Amino acid sequence: MSYSDDSALAAGMVIESWESNVVVERLTVKVDSRASYIPGKFYLRELPCIVELLKHVEHPLECIVVDGYVTLGADECPGLGMRLW
């Protein structure tokens, strides 16, 4: 993700398979976004951008790899990964 004052640029790629390094699709999408980073609520800023990017994927997906937490803390509050799931 890359953020400016009023938008974000989300980027992703689709690879052929988990064992492959062949890229079959590269995507970028600009998202109107004014969400600020809030500790413990990273998903509020990132999730809308990821969801918008996924709308543009043309290949079937078996899994999504996200650089973020599935759960947060000892009480396992939902993080970005769980909210995307």
Residues 39-61 have pLDDT tens digits of: 778 888 889 999 999 999 999 99
The per-residue pLDDT for 59 is 92
Alpha carbon distances (Å) from 82 to 2, 8, 16, 78: 22, 22, 24, 6
| Mean pLDDT across 15-23 | 92
Q: Which residues of 25-37 are buried (b: 16+ CB within 10 A; e: fewer)?
A: eeeebebebebee
pLDDT over threshold 80, residue 33:
no
